[in-house]
Amino acid sequence: MQLIRKGKVKDIFRLESGNFLFHFSDRISAFDVPIPSTVPHKGQVLCRFSEFWFKSIGFPNHMIRVTNETDMEVRRLEMIPLECVVRGYLYGSMYERHRKLAQKNGHSSIPLKASRLAKPIFDPTTKSDVHDTQITRNDSIRLGLVSEDEYDFLERTSIAIYKVMSNIIESRGFIIADVKFEFGKDPTTGQIYLADSIGPDEFRLWLKADYSPGKDQKSFDKQILRDWLINKGFRTQLESSIKDGSLIETPALPPELLNELSRRYVWAYEEITGMKL
């Protein structure tokens, strides 16, 4: 077994069979930056949540089997260099873009935060180890990231999968506000498979009973980490460092935040899947 990539939260090994092994760690990242802290049980939640979704969605995926609590064997794919984001609610970076555009154009009314969109929107980004950025259909094709047919397939498929997940999640008393998918091609046949992982690192999750548009929502994903970092000024410092190339020190997280993050991950997993961790 050979380590071929150590990611922000996941390690990838090449097996003798030619397949890959994903090891889901307890590491965490935010705003595309690794954080020097670990979240108890996070690796287990990500591995088992991914297994649940791959089995539930009904679309061909790269999972072969789960080998233990934190490891999953997957088929080798040539990854498509797009993060396929689907948004059902106006929140996060999409809300910030709409808010800034309204202010720039002198509009007095700012879109209602956390409001449900008329229909799910495909909002892809580049796939980067440094910082993902939004990308249009035309630019995705012009840069050779995908063909026209591939882009349309990814858009159609991503929205369809989001709807399947939304139906399951809403039946369990939650709302999935948005989600990020990744896809890859079989190097021999060219068939496209759903890949990577699907868990609270990839989607934004709210309780239906607590949902109230126009304000920040209580989340059962890593939003509480993002909020904590924003309150500490980390996001502002990060944006400045991206512009001028300066170094930034990533803060260590307090134990109570890590424990609460772990509790929410585990509770959401158990409530949605009906299985104990």
Greater confidence (103 vs 9) lies with: 9
CA distance 192 to 136: 21
pLDDT exceeds cutoff 80 at 242? no
Structure confidence at residue 101 (pLDDT): 81
**184 has which bridge partners?**
79, 193
Query: Collapsing DSSP states into helix, strand and coil, what is residue 121?
Result: strand
Structure confidence at residue 129 (pLDDT): 58
CA distance 102 to 259: 38
pLDDT band at 245 (very low <50, low <70, confident <90, very high): low
CA distance 168 to 171: 5
CA distance 31 to 86: 18
Greater confidence (234 vs 255) lies with: 255
Of 210, 248, 267, 1, which is closest to residue 131 (Cα–Cα)?
A: 248
pLDDT exceeds cutoff 90 at 15? yes
Share of the chain above pLDDT 90, in %: 73
Structural domain count, the chain: 1
Structure confidence at residue 35 (pLDDT): 87
Tallying the residues shown for the chain, one arrives at 277
Q: How do strand 63-68 and strand 71-74 relate by DSSP bridges?
A: antiparallel
Q: H-type helices in 29-147, by residue range? A: 42-57, 92-104, 137-142
pLDDT exceeds cutoff 60 at 130? no
The whole domain housing 191 covers 2-273
Average pLDDT, the chain: 92
Task: Copy the structure tokens of residue 237.
Answer: 């410092």
Compute the average pLDDT of residues 115-138.
87
**Do residues 39 and 9 make contact, with C-beta atoms less than 8 angstroms apart?**
no
Structure confidence at residue 128 (pLDDT): 65
CA distance 26 to 37: 9
pLDDT band at 116 (very low <50, low <70, confident <90, very high): very high
Greater confidence (110 vs 172) lies with: 172
CA distance 117 to 187: 37
pLDDT exceeds cutoff 80 at 244? no
DSSP assignment, residue 119? Answer: E
**Do residues 124 and 162 make contact, with C-beta atoms less than 8 angstroms apart?**
no
pLDDT exceeds cutoff 70 at 40? yes
Q: H-type helices in 112-182, by residue range? A: 137-142, 148-171
Greater confidence (185 vs 102) lies with: 185
Q: What is the CATH number of the domain that holds 202?
A: 3.30.470.20
